[in-house]
Structure 1
Amino acid sequence: MSNIHYTTLFSIDILHGYHLNNGEEPYLDMSLDNQEKMLDRYDWQQFLNVRPTVETRKHFRRFQLLSKNTGKSLRVMVRGLEVNSQDSFIPLEQELTLAFLMSYRDPYFENYTDMNFLSGEKMFFSNFQPPALDGIDFHPISLESTEEYFSDSFIITEESFDLLLDTYGIKEAGNDTAGLILIRMQGESGNLNVLNVNHTLKINPTVFKIHFSNRSTYWRYYQASSDTGAETNQAKPLTKNGFVQLSIDTDFDGDPGTISHLRFPNPGVKHIQSDGINYYSEINI
């Protein structure tokens, strides 16, 4: 009996600055050694749930695909014809499209993510422009090789999202659904393809990327015992790791002497407010 061999079909790196940055030092600016240290304790599935749709699970069974995620990536594997072969055990169709629904595992995800709070809108990531979105500005999912971050370009309206659900027969999206990922074997352009043009597997599988930035907020401090308040004059990054050190001489306006008795811990992510222009973290000290 021959051994069953699986190889990577494609993967999606899912990165988040709140979890990967170290204080004010961005993950991408770290040395490779320090990046690896941050990844050792990182798992994107702590804050996001990405699950294949019912129809995609049928495709998984039909084409002998499976999901084998890592702390850094969502990874889809395919059964190969034999070891080191570029042929899949069951030939894949160029139009084969896999769909994944996104939801939050962390209820405070939007608090610490550099994004507008969703109100009916949804996140959308795809390596091709679906016909249902013809005439609408489309921005393809990022590739591993780029330094592109999540932005409003990856947000679609509720109406467009519903069109996609109808087009791909997705009936299980619920109120908790925050987004959709569509990956077609033939992408919008060559570097977005999953398969080679001759339908064979790539020697170096395509690595897509979704990289969220951490939100920066103005930090408002208030000490009830002395009825003293202070607010940073610039927005500061929210980060799970490291510490953002504040200076009473440069990070606050006014007379430093009036706030010299205060301490300035970094804020949590539960209490975020907005005045319609800026976001604020409220910290009682």
Structure 2
Amino acid sequence: MIDVTIENFEAEVIQASMTQPVLVDFWATWCGPCKVIGPILEKLETAYEGRFKLVKIDSDAEQQLASAFGIRSIPTVILLMNGQPVDGFMGALPEGKIREFLDKHIPPAEDMPEEEIEPELDAADAGPEAQLEKLQHAVATDPSNDEARFGYVKALLLAGRTDDAKVAFAPVIAKTSLVRGFDSLQKWMNALDAAYGKDTAEFDARIAANKRDFDARYARAQVLMAQQHWTDAMDELLEILMRDKSWSDDLARKTYIAVLDIIEPPKPKVAEGQIPPDDPVVATYRRRLSSVVLS
């Protein structure tokens, strides 16, 4: 059993789950049921003789990780395989039920597959699933590769795999103030959370009644971001900027830039000495931002 923090999460959970199922126990010192289930999980880790790895995360001490997994009550136990959460349960289940849970995913000892060498993906294969797999592999191979992690989390979000994206993003949450791309991804995930179950129509009447209702305009932009209507979202943010450039500590401009970061495609390879062309949509909206901010 290993205690996991934000610092060792990538190595002890994500990377480890590429070769062995990892069972994550979210607990807290004040939690009575946690003290019941903890020894059971440790007993089963020994009984299963290395067929899964048990780690524990103190949800009070590691609130960023608990938030990334959407933990709402403890104990919560989540099983990860190949870098992704595959199943979980809440509450102090009896040992028999936990064995049933594990046996659904972990093969018997005699059926454990031999280690396979993962085939290298053809770089020419540009399919979304192939690209996602390549990015996942790149992050697992080099967790400090910020460019690969940005691409991986972005690809997961584009695919609608928000929970998986939050797990992949958790190890770099503390870097959002240092790496602009991570801050942009955080704003996108914030928009997804804020826009859940909402539609732009509920903000239209407020905006029609008061064009300076910036809270409504920003909420509408977040819904559009969640729907991946990127240019519409930037148009709404521009409406705020044209009326108040510094509203809410420059939030509209910062979010606009985040959208530009998200939609900008990777630069194509060009001959040495040449400058790759800008994406026309990104270039147009950069000019629109400049004209508003500098006016």
TM-score range, shorter chain: under 0.3
Structure with the larger strand share: 1
For normalisation by structure 2, the TM-score amounts to 0.25
Structure with the larger helix share: 2
